[in-house]
Every structure is written in C-alpha cells, then in structure tokens.
Structure 1
Amino acid sequence: MSETPPFEGRPAAPAAPGQPINGTGPGVWDPEFFQNPYPTYAWLRENDPVRGITWPGPPGHAWLVTRYEDVHAGQADSRLRHDLTAFMAELGIPEPPAIGGDVARLLGRNLTLLDAPDHPRLRAVLSRFFTKRRIEGMRPRIEILADKLLDDLAERAGDGPVDLIQDFAWKLPLTVVCELLGVPAEDHELFGYGTDASRDRGATGEYAAGAVVAVERLRALIGEKRANPADDAFTSFVRALDAGEFLDEDEVIAQAMLFVVAGHETTVDLLGNGIHALLSNPDQLKQLTADPSLVTNTVEEVLRYYPPTDIVTPQYTAEPIAFGDVEVDRHQIVILSRASANRDPKRYPDPERFDITRNTAGHLGFGHGPHYCVGGMTARIEGQTVFNRIFDRFPDLRHAGDPEQVRWKSNPVARGLVSLPVELGTPRRPGKTA
C-alpha cells in the first residue's frame, strides 16, 4: 500500500472533518454540518465530489463520495468491501479494543459489516422470513398499534407541546420490530437502548450497557424458542442455527440485534423526518390530506429528501476503483453519501424542493445493491400508516416553535431529529384500540 493517498492535482494532505481543505470550501461533520449538511454537499458535488478527509483509523484518511452516479455505482461494486476487521488484518494491524468489549465484537458479525460469502449466506436466511407477503400481513397490526398511540396522544391534547419523537415515533417501530422478532412484550423496552442512546452520541456508556443486557436476553431466548417455537423471526433464526445455516449462537444474536436496533432507529428517523418535512411544507401536506393515495409516494420522497441513513457504512477498496476522474488506490477507506446523492440535480430536478408527487425512482434512502435494507418494507408500511393517520387524527398539528430550530442528531451515519416538539391541536376522532 502506498504511504499517502493519490491526491494528484489536489491538496497534499486530507482535511480533518469540520475543516475546509486548504481554507477552501465547507467542512464536514462539525456541529453546523449536522444541523444542515445539504449546502455542504451541494458544494462538494460541484467542486470536490471525491474529497479526501482525515479518518480516525488506518490508513489515516478516507474519501467522501457525494455524486449520485458514483454513490449508486459504488454500492453495487464488489471492489468496495464492508468488513473492516478483514481490512485491518490485510494491513497487518492489530485490531484495537472495541468499545463494549466482547459484546461489540459479537455485534460486529451482523451482515451489514460482512462481505461474501458470509453476507449472502446470512441474508438468505433472513430473507426467507421477511417476505413481502409476511410483512404486508403486518399492516393491520401496525394500524392498530399506531391508532392506540394516537389515542394516547389525544388524551394530552391541550396540555401543551409534546415531543413526537419520544412520545410517538420512538414507540411504534420498537413494538413492531419486537413483535416480528418474537420478543415477549415485557422485554420490549430492553431493546430500545440503541435508539434511545443514539439520539445524541454522548451516551456511549449507556449504549454499551444496554447492549449487554439485550444480548443476554436474546441468548436466553434461544432456548425458549427451541422449547416453544412460534411463527416469528427469532424462531426461524434458531431453526436455521440448528440446521447449520448459522455458524454459532453469536451469529444468530448479531443478526437479531441488527434487526432490532437498525430497524428501530431507521424507522424512528423516517417517521420523525417525514412529519417534520410535511409540517414544514404545508402545500405538500394539503395535497396528501386531500388525496391519501399519495402516501406511498410521500414515503419515497421522505426517503429521498431526508434519508434516515446519511452515509453508507464506511468501506474499503480491495482493488483500485475510479469515481469519475479520480482513481482511489487499493486499501483506502471510502464513504458514500446517500443523502448527498439523493439531492444531486443531475438525478433529480430541483432536488432541494420537497415534492410528494415527484418521480423518486432510484433514490438511495434504503441503499442499493447487495446490501439493500432487508427491513425497508416494514419501515415503508409504518410510514404510510403514520403519515395518513396522524394528520387525519390531528388536522391542526403544527410545530411548537421555529421549525428551523429543531435539533438533529450529531451522527454521521443516522440522519434524524433529537426531538420534534409539536402542538397537537384538537383531535378529530378516536382511533381503534389494541
């Protein structure tokens, strides 16, 4: 591997996150960036679409890729690999201690961080359970759960602002994902640690402690599902383990934790981002309430406009790869920005406009290629349910305060609101109850 990245015709060294290159252009991953990354991404797409930045691990630098064409192609390119543990081994660098120790290493075995042959093997096992028919069959239950939570909110109408993240968006996906997995109702709160601690990345210790408890509960659940199998995802995982399709119990637990944590947080952010976008664009909200059939495309536009995952999990180059006229050498870290790609004007006309009637085909809100999100269909159904029902139940719903002042998570991967304060107004009618 070369000692320095190939920055021919470019700055001699990469810039640190938050710092412009040689005093030129915007920074990335600083506090202002997290509040609104889109002007920065627009500048990068136009002026520096494959940008060198400092990376905290080996080899010390990374490439941030921002144009749609490059990001789309990169997600399907086998020369980009996800297993950074294998990358460290290739470089002959001892793996650093993981935050959370053994539990963190266990969770690192989930399929999003793996390549062939492990990734397709694990994905095949998960895909057998998460079929379109099964997930679509969850729609009536999701509607009941959403209506029950809206009933709870209605009881607080007139009491002042409520936080739609904590009081609504956080709760619905957690229940849905735990019921799909087969986690007993009394244990659901154990698995909310991931999203709860990650609203802001200052809660690392809380996150690690919550992971330990959740892993221990899943380990016990393996025996329970063997003794009392059910029509749920975890039972199907245990059967796959006993059939030799999983290597060991840790691999089962890693996929289950991925399903709960990623499925929960991604959907919380989809719901919060979508409600915020609709409230901030009353003309679009008016169209949706006048024609509820637009809700399917509304979800897709939210995924384009405010994708719940800003960047793809950092990858490394197993071979040299070119993005446009920039060739990235072997053994380099590459970061693909879905959020930037989704607002590339070369792909979407007037991309900064939120438009629920636009053609959103090809958006990267849930990725592209072999690592396309397994749980995307579940999140879509939850979004469709919520975006219709919440505005029907609360026709006067509005931001409590300046919508420009909402606080976004300081998280380079997950793009979502820390909180969403709203005034409910007068509820229109009672919903169904569970």
Structure 2
Amino acid sequence: MSETPPFEGRPAAPAAPGQPINGSGPGVWDPEFFQNPYPTYAWLRENDPVRGITWPGPPGHAWLVTRYEDVHAGQADSRLRHDLTAFMAELGIPEPPAIGGDVARLLGRNLTLLDAPDHPRLRAVLSRFFTKRRIEGMRPRIEVLTDGLLDDLAERAGDGPVDLVQDFAWKLPLTVVCELLGVPAEDHELFGYGTDASRDRGATGEYAAGAVVAVERLRALIGEKRANPADDAFTSFVRALDAGEFLDEDEVIAQAMLFVVAGHETTVDLLGNGIHALLSNPDQLKQLTADPSLVTNTVEEVLRYYPPTDIVTPQYTAEPIAFGDVEVDRHQIVILSRASANRDPERYPDPERFDITRNTAGHLGFGHGPHYCVGGMTARIEGQTVFNRIFDRFPDLRHAGDPEQVRWKSNPVARGLVSLPVELGTPRRPGKTA
C-alpha cells in the first residue's frame, strides 16, 4: 500500500483550486469541466483515482476520490468527518471570518456539516416528521401543483421557446418544500434565494442578503407556530425545541434552511437534468411514454446519470484511511465525487449510456451512509410526477437549439442546468390521452 505523496515544492498560493499538484493530467472545476466533467472523471478513475489537487484552505491541498468502490465506502466511514470547524480547531488554526458573518455561522450548524453526536441527534428529530407515509401522502398535492404549472406553460405554447428551469422546474419544488415546512404562501419567494443565487456562485452578496431575510423570517415563525401549531415540519421542529431536543433557536433555523435550500435546489436540478436527458435520448423517452410504469426506474437512472449533487461537502480524515492502494494521512481534506462514482464501469456496464431499464441499484445520487439525503423521497415523487405528466401534456416537447450547448452551473457541488430552452409544441388538453 502506498502512502499519500509529499507536496514539497507546491505553490503556496495556487492559482485556482482543483488543479493537479504532482504529475500531469487534467484539473477540475474550470469552465470546460463544468460543461462536461465526465471525460475528466473517466481519466481520473483510470489513471489517478485518488488525485492530489490544489485546495484554497488548510492544508493547501485535497484528495479527490473518483472510483465507485472508494466513494461508496468513504460515505459510510466514520473516519471521514464533516465538521471543518472542528478540523480547523484540531490544526490550531483560527477560523477565518465567514462570508455572511453570523448568518453563515448559523447555517454552518446544519446536519450535513456535523458529526456524531450532533448529527444523529438532529437526524432523529427530522426523521420523525419525514416518514414514508407522510411524504407519500403529498403525492396528490404534488400532482395538482404540477398540473397547474403545466397549464401555465400551455398558455405560452406557440409564443416561442420557454426555459423549463426557471419557468417550471424552479417553481414546483419551492412550493412543495415550503408547504411541507409550513411556510406561509406569501413568504415562499423569500426562500428561493438559495437556488437563484447559486446559478452564479459569484453572487455571494445576493446570496448572503437573501439568507439574512430568510433566517429572520424563520425566527419570527417559531413564535407563530407556538401560538398556532399546525401539521407541518416547522411546528414539529418547534415542539422538539421546547422538549430540549434542539439546543437553541439557531439550531432549528439551520435545519429548516437546509431543508428548504437543499431540498429546493436538488429537486430543481433533478427535474431539469431528467427532462434534458430524456429529450437527448429519444429512444428512452419513447419507452417511457409507451410504458409510464417505467417512471420509477427512470428517476433512479437520472439520479445515476446526472446526479443533482456531485460533492456535498469536503471532509477531513480524523485517522489515516485507505482508498484502494493509497493511504491518506490524518488531517487531510478528502472530496468524494458521486458523479464520477455513478459512471464507474466497474459498477455499471456501459455507464455513459442513459438507460431507463438498467439496474441502478446502489447509485449515489442521494448519497449513502449516515448522511443519506433526508429529502430524497420527496424529490423522487416530484420526479415521477413530472417525467410522466410533462411529456403526456406536451407530446412534441423538444430542445430549442443544440442540446450539446445547454449551459451547466459552474458549481462543484450542485450539478444542474442554468437553463433549459425548449419548444413546447401543441399541448394536449388536460385529461386527454393519445
């Protein structure tokens, strides 16, 4: 087993994160990579599956892990920790000021950035509300919301291209997640700031300003739910706070913000990515429209082929850990790529082919292990509803322009489209089938 190589001679301040430190070969996280990361990931899996790359924070480099076996194992390995604040403390490095100040520190208390004992404590509170029965009970409401948005699109048929990301996929998950949480309808737009700003990660000022407004609205909502409890997630959180299961109001708000922002953006990207994949593979779309029961596996194949989240958070090694024949030392940053793992030919035959009938078992679209996505069930129902209904309502739906030229977000975390221009064609009347 080889140990991770030393980094003597590396630049103290590398020009950009994601570039190879020792050796040659492609880097990651540049504009070309974001448009299509898969050739780079294929090269890395074959030639350098535990890749040393430049990293903007301590210790100045990171390890990018790309093979399925390693990524799958790493997501369930307790030696990989998520709390980078604790990591900085272990290194004796003062935590730098966060963009967004106090609000950023509050949001940093969400369970995706925590380890035991806080992570299992918070996850248990959330899981009590987000049961399979409750989420499945949302299906009729999701169908109604979807049909309403498709009606809105139908009114624009013949007016030229529409953007299915902003005009459709962005709207449905925001309403669903806000209704589940118990956010009043007039406040839903407040919580769309996360995915709007995330389409350009340079918009940190806009993002921070939106976060401040959303946090203060949730703080006020705590008192409102105490006075007027309802059958919603936020009331459940407030009751848990009053029972001592949350440490304070900030911890409640951090979980609610995670639920809204992550639940919204992930599903926006699932819907946009899935519609794009189906339009780009007409043979698969034909199979789905001929047999709508294939929609469940279609969603799973979209999650494998275009996972809406590539890298959730960087992690650090609390102890040395081996990936294949490479041992990574303690106090190293490790980055696990779900998008690469999901296209590993050692796991999935012909992985570059989009196939809605393939066995997708074990895909990492929503992660694996203790940090598996709490909201995955809701996103799946939205995907199942949309992928059947939109092509039934718009049988002539097609890309407006070259599908190879769609623009993807420049974001190492979220893998999704900035926009999806389409021609709707002639809509079918509601309730009328071919």
Superposition TM-score tier, normalisation by shorter sequence: over 0.9
- Give, in angstroms, the shift of residue 27 of structure 1: 1.5
Q: Which residue of 2 aligns with 1:145?
A: 145
How far apart, CA to CA, are the structure 2 residues paired with 1:99 and 1:17?
18
- Give, in angstroms, the shift of residue 277 of structure 1: 0.2
Secondary structure, aligned partner of 1:134? helix
- Residues 113, 2 of structure 1: CA spacing in aligned structure 2 closer, same or farther, 3 A cutoff? farther
Deviations 1:249-291 (A, max 9, x none): 0000000000000000000000000000000000000000000
Contact 1:11 1:22 in 2 (8 A): no
How far apart, CA to CA, are the structure 2 residues paired with 1:332 and 1:278?
40
How far apart, CA to CA, are the structure 1 residues paired with 2:37 and 2:168?
26
Alignment of 1:81-160 (within 5 A): 81-160=81-160
- Give, in angstroms, the shift of residue 351 of structure 1: 0.1
- Residues 97, 153 of structure 1: CA spacing in aligned structure 2 closer, same or farther, 3 A cutoff? same
How far apart, CA to CA, are the structure 2 residues paired with 1:28 and 1:204?
22
Deviations 1:343-362 (A, max 9, x none): 00000000000000000000
Contact 1:147 1:433 in 2 (8 A): no
- Give, in angstroms, the shift of residue 201 of structure 1: 1.2
How far apart, CA to CA, are the structure 1 residues paired with 2:73 and 2:310?
17
- Residues 12, 255 of structure 1: CA spacing in aligned structure 2 closer, same or farther, 3 A cutoff? closer
How far apart, CA to CA, are the structure 2 residues paired with 1:262 and 1:291?
31
- Seq. identity, %: 99
- Give, in angstroms, the shift of residue 203 of structure 1: 1.2
Secondary structure, aligned partner of 1:51? strand
Q: Which residue of 2 aligns with 1:421?
A: 421
- Residues 231, 425 of structure 1: CA spacing in aligned structure 2 closer, same or farther, 3 A cutoff? same
How far apart, CA to CA, are the structure 2 residues paired with 1:407 and 1:259?
26
What is the Cα-based RMSD across aligned positions, in Å?
A: 2.8
- Residues 178, 23 of structure 1: CA spacing in aligned structure 2 closer, same or farther, 3 A cutoff? same
Secondary structure, aligned partner of 2:3? coil
Number of residue pairs the alignment of both structures matches:
434
How far apart, CA to CA, are the structure 1 residues paired with 2:322 and 2:23?
26
Contact 2:2 2:327 in 1 (8 A): no
Contact 1:16 1:53 in 2 (8 A): no
- Give, in angstroms, the shift of residue 8 of structure 1: 11
- Residues 90, 323 of structure 1: CA spacing in aligned structure 2 closer, same or farther, 3 A cutoff? same
How far apart, CA to CA, are the structure 2 residues paired with 1:408 and 1:131?
33
Is there any run of 5+ residues in structure 1 with no aligned partner, and where?
none
- Give, in angstroms, the shift of residue 2 of structure 1: 16
Q: Which residue of 2 aligns with 1:395?
A: 395
Contact 1:127 1:374 in 2 (8 A): yes
Between 1:409-418 and 1:1-10, the stretch displaced more is: 1-10
- Give, in angstroms, the shift of residue 5 of structure 1: 5.7
Deviations 1:354-403 (A, max 9, x none): 00000000000000000000000000000000000000000000000000
- Give, in angstroms, the shift of residue 11 of structure 1: 13
Contact 2:52 2:62 in 1 (8 A): yes
Contact 2:20 2:54 in 1 (8 A): no
- Residues 156, 275 of structure 1: CA spacing in aligned structure 2 closer, same or farther, 3 A cutoff? same
- Give, in angstroms, the shift of residue 25 of structure 1: 1.4
The answer to whether residue 371 in structure 2 is matched with residue 352 in structure 1 is: no
Return the TM-score normalized by structure 2.
0.96
How far apart, CA to CA, are the structure 2 residues paired with 1:70 and 1:3?
16
Secondary structure, aligned partner of 1:353? coil
Contact 2:201 2:411 in 1 (8 A): yes
Contact 1:246 1:252 in 2 (8 A): yes
How far apart, CA to CA, are the structure 2 residues paired with 1:11 and 1:328?
21
Deviations 1:16-69 (A, max 9, x none): 545455662111000000000000000000000000011101111100000000
- Give, in angstroms, the shift of residue 171 of structure 1: 0.2
Contact 2:317 2:333 in 1 (8 A): yes
Q: Which residue of 2 aligns with 1:174?
A: 174
How far apart, CA to CA, are the structure 1 residues paired with 2:415 and 2:390?
22
Contact 2:182 2:234 in 1 (8 A): yes
Deviations 1:311-361 (A, max 9, x none): 131000000000001100000000000000000000000000000000000
How far apart, CA to CA, are the structure 1 residues paired with 2:340 and 2:247?
37
- Residues 85, 13 of structure 1: CA spacing in aligned structure 2 closer, same or farther, 3 A cutoff? closer
How far apart, CA to CA, are the structure 2 residues paired with 1:60 and 1:79?
20
Contact 2:409 2:417 in 1 (8 A): yes
Deviations 1:284-303 (A, max 9, x none): 00000000000000000000
Contact 1:148 1:432 in 2 (8 A): no
Return the TM-score normalized by structure 1.
0.96
How far apart, CA to CA, are the structure 1 residues paired with 2:433 and 2:266?
26
How far apart, CA to CA, are the structure 2 residues paired with 1:386 and 1:128?
27
Contact 1:15 1:53 in 2 (8 A): no
Deviations 1:152-208 (A, max 9, x none): 000000000000000000000000000000000000000000001101212111000
Contact 1:144 1:433 in 2 (8 A): no
How far apart, CA to CA, are the structure 2 residues paired with 1:159 and 1:414?
31
How far apart, CA to CA, are the structure 1 residues paired with 2:227 and 2:173?
28
How far apart, CA to CA, are the structure 1 residues paired with 2:233 and 2:52?
41
Deviations 1:207-262 (A, max 9, x none): 00000000000000000000000000000000000000000000000000000000
Contact 2:310 2:337 in 1 (8 A): yes
- Give, in angstroms, the shift of residue 110 of structure 1: 0.2
Is there any run of 5+ residues in structure 2 with no aligned partner, and where?
none
Contact 1:15 1:52 in 2 (8 A): no
Contact 1:148 1:433 in 2 (8 A): no
How far apart, CA to CA, are the structure 1 residues paired with 2:317 and 2:382?
36
- Residues 424, 430 of structure 1: CA spacing in aligned structure 2 closer, same or farther, 3 A cutoff? same
Contact 1:50 1:65 in 2 (8 A): yes
Contact 1:81 1:318 in 2 (8 A): yes
Contact 2:83 2:114 in 1 (8 A): yes
- Residues 105, 9 of structure 1: CA spacing in aligned structure 2 closer, same or farther, 3 A cutoff? closer
